[in-house]
């Protein structure tokens, strides 16, 4: 039941090469009927992507939409605002800890089953959150909601691989990136709009009709995918949850100077458990943490690029509002409007990048995109003392266009460099890399702000932005290295 990681990695590479041969008509002459269907017909493809888009929109929105309502929730539930923060953190921890186990279940049971189960759990948990009588019940509902969101996020890119024909996978990944960007940008606006006419439970109740429609369409249109027949490894799932759970909790606590010692202990615990986790995975034929896929150079470089780029983006996202409000003395509303060009630019570039990724080397596109993003962030760090609105807008637009050009080609490499039967693991790793990068970026800014207390917000923001530039440059270099490595 076990084999060495080297032989497992070689098998993964052979599987990816065989798929590429099949897609290009250079296979071993086996009949076409023996190969998996190359995507859905156009009408079914459109409906399937509509279902995927609806579910992803809810999952992404609920990761941020609650932030706006936290003060109101704390007041209504009569709890301390600091305690209410776990309503947000609990969701993030549940999503991150469950992504890889659900991705493994997708390989075992089929991606459609895991997707539908996750969607149903998300909708049911939304109902529980809406009627939660206390903070404890609300947090429990958010944990369940996070598990449901993980079921959706863990296999969404894997499903795209079966929804679209091979020649159009970049376009499909670009459409998912577009949905994520739009949902991220719309989060605060949607929350504010709902709260202006209704109470905070409606932030969750709106998921019921949307989720019900998504479930109905998905159950009828999502493709039935092959199943691996492997057994689910519960020990791997526990080790995975402990590793990422401790890591996220520790990283989140780094910003608290009084709790920094505990944070370092939690991170050390995550590293220790993670080491045991990885060593155990190296012994397995089909590991839950796909360490065998990391032996594929294009896959490993794409993961490094993803973590670095999302850390850079999150660093800028967190630092810039402090610059706008504490240095330029702008209002919260003005800050929100000034932050909007970045996600809008991502949304505008995502479908374009998807088409480009089907025609040009993704590694090169990703490198160019991250170079543009680094240039935009560096330009923000070099802003004059009293910038005009246009000076800010074009810099953030350049950053967003660069990130949008990088994201779709990079995700395409992550999913297509893995063998077809390991699409779930690759999809789970893609989402895990995104969340890990975002958490590390947030922690980096928290540490920088803590170390520069007394030096003024301008100094802290400048250091955070230049750190983001360094991360984007590192990610761009890793992206370009994929040229000639199936990426």
Backbone angles phi, psi at 284, to 5 degrees: -95, 150
Residue 2, SS3? Answer: strand
191, 302: one domain: yes
Q: How do the pLDDT tens digits run along the chain, 487 residues long?
A: 444 444 444 444 444 444 433 333 333 333 333 334 577 888 888 898 888 888 888 888 877 677 667 777 888 888 876 677 778 778 888 888 888 899 888 888 888 999 999 999 999 999 999 999 988 899 999 999 999 999 998 888 888 888 888 888 777 877 887 787 777 767 767 777 788 888 889 989 989 998 999 999 989 888 888 787 778 888 999 999 999 888 888 877 776 667 778 888 999 999 999 999 999 988 887 788 888 788 888 888 888 899 999 999 888 887 888 888 888 888 766 777 788 888 888 888 888 888 888 888 888 898 999 999 999 999 999 998 889 989 999 999 999 999 989 888 888 888 777 777 677 777 788 878 888 888 788 778 877 887 777 777 788 889 999 999 999 999 989 888 876 544 5
Structurally, the chain folds into a number of domains equal to 2
287, 416: one domain: no
- Do 251 and 440 meet the contact criterion of CB atoms below 8 Å apart? yes
274, 382: one domain: no
In 3D space, the residue among 241, 246, 226 whose CA is nearest the CA of residue 288 turns out to be 241
Pick the last residue of a domain from 292, 313, 329. Answer: 292
In a domain, residue 135? The reply is yes
Using one digit for the tens of pLDDT, what is the confidence trace for 34-59?
334 577 888 888 898 888 888 888 88
pLDDT computed for residue 22 by the predictor: 39
CATH code (residue 201) = 1.20.1250.20
318, 415: one domain: yes
In 3D space, the residue among 308, 322, 270 whose CA is nearest the CA of residue 403 turns out to be 308
374, 305: one domain: yes
126, 265: one domain: no
pTM: 0.72
What is d(CA 79, CA 4) in angstroms, rounded to the nearest whole number?
52
416, 475: one domain: yes
In a domain, residue 151? The reply is yes
In a domain, residue 486? The reply is no
226, 174: one domain: yes
What Cα–Cα distance (Å) separates residue 192 from each residue in 73, 238, 396?
Answer: 14, 38, 23
Pick the last residue of a domain from 226, 260, 292. Answer: 292
What Cα–Cα distance (Å) separates residue 260 from each residue in 23, 250, 274, 430, 457?
Answer: 51, 8, 20, 29, 21
6, 121: one domain: no
- Do 448 and 307 meet the contact criterion of CB atoms below 8 Å apart? no
In a domain, residue 33? The reply is no
Pick the last residue of a domain from 292, 327, 361. Answer: 292
403, 272: one domain: no
8, 126: one domain: no
In a domain, residue 446? The reply is yes
In a domain, residue 23? The reply is no
Domain that holds residue 267: 1-14+235-292
In a domain, residue 19? The reply is no
Using one digit for the tens of pLDDT, what is the confidence trace for 414-425?
877 777 767 777
Using one digit for the tens of pLDDT, what is the confidence trace for 191-241?
777 888 888 899 899 899 989 999 999 898 888 887 877 788 889 999 999
pLDDT computed for residue 205 by the predictor: 92
In a domain, residue 365? The reply is yes
8, 136: one domain: no
Q: At what angle do helices 423-451 and 111-130 cross, to 10 degrees?
A: 40
């Amino acid at each position: 039941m076990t084999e060495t990681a080297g032989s497992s990695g070689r098998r993964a590479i052979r599987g990816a090469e065989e798929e590429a041969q099949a897609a290009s008509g250079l296979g071993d002459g086996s009949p076409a009927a023996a190969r998996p269907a190359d995507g859905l017909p156009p009408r079914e493809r459109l409906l399937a992507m509509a279902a995927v888009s609806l579910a992803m929109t809810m999952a992404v929105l609920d990761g941020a939409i609650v932030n706006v309502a936290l003060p109101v929730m704390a007041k209504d539930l009569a709890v301390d605002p600091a305690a209410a923060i776990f309503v947000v953190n609990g969701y993030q921890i549940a999503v991150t800890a469950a992504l890889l186990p659900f991705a493994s279940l997708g390989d075992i049971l089929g991606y459609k089953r895991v997707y539908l189960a996750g969607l149903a759990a998300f909708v049911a948990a939304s109902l529980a959150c809406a009627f939660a009588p206390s903070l404890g019940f609300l947090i429990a509902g958010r944990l369940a909601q996070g598990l449901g969101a993980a079921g959706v996020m863990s296999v969404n890119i894997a499903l795209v691989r079966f929804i679209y024909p091979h020649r159009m996978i970049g376009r499909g990944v670009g459409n998912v990136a577009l949905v994520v960007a739009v949902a991220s940008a719309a989060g605060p606006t949607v929350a504010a709009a709902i709260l202006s006419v209704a109470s905070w439970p409606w932030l969750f109740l709106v998921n019921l009709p949307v989720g019900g429609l998504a479930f109905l369409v998905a159950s009828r249109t999502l493709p039935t995918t092959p199943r691996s027949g492997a057994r689910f490894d519960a020990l791997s799932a526990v080790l995975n949850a402990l590793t990422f759970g401790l890591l996220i909790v520790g990283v989140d606590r780094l910003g608290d100077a009084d709790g920094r010692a505990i944070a370092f202990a939690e991170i050390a615990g995550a590293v220790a458990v993670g080491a045991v986790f990885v060593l155990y995975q190296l012994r397995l034929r089909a590991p839950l943490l796909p360490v065998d896929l990391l032996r594929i150079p294009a896959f490993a470089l794409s993961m490094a690029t993803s973590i670095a780029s999302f850390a850079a983006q999150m660093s800028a996202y967190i630092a810039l509002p402090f610059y706008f409000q504490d240095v330029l003395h702008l209002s919260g509303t003005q800050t929100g409007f000034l932050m909007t060009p970045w996600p809008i630019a991502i949304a505008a570039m995502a479908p374009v990048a998807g088409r480009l990724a089907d025609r040009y080397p993704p590694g090169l596109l990703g490198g160019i995109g991250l170079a543009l993003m680094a240039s935009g962030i560096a330009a923000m760090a070099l802003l004059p003392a009293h910038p005009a609105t246009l000076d800010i807008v074009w810099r953030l637009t350049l950053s967003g266009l660069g990130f949008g050009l990088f994201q779709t080609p990079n995700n395409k490499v992550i999913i297509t460099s893995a063998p077809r039967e390991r699409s779930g693991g690759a999809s789970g790793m893609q989402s895990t890399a995104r969340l890990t990068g975002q958490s590390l970026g947030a922690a980096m800014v928290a540490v920088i702000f803590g170390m520069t207390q007394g030096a003024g917000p301008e100094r802290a923001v400048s250091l955070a932005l230049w750190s983001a530039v360094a991360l984007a440059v590192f990610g761009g270099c890793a992206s370009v290295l994929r040229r000639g490595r199936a990426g």
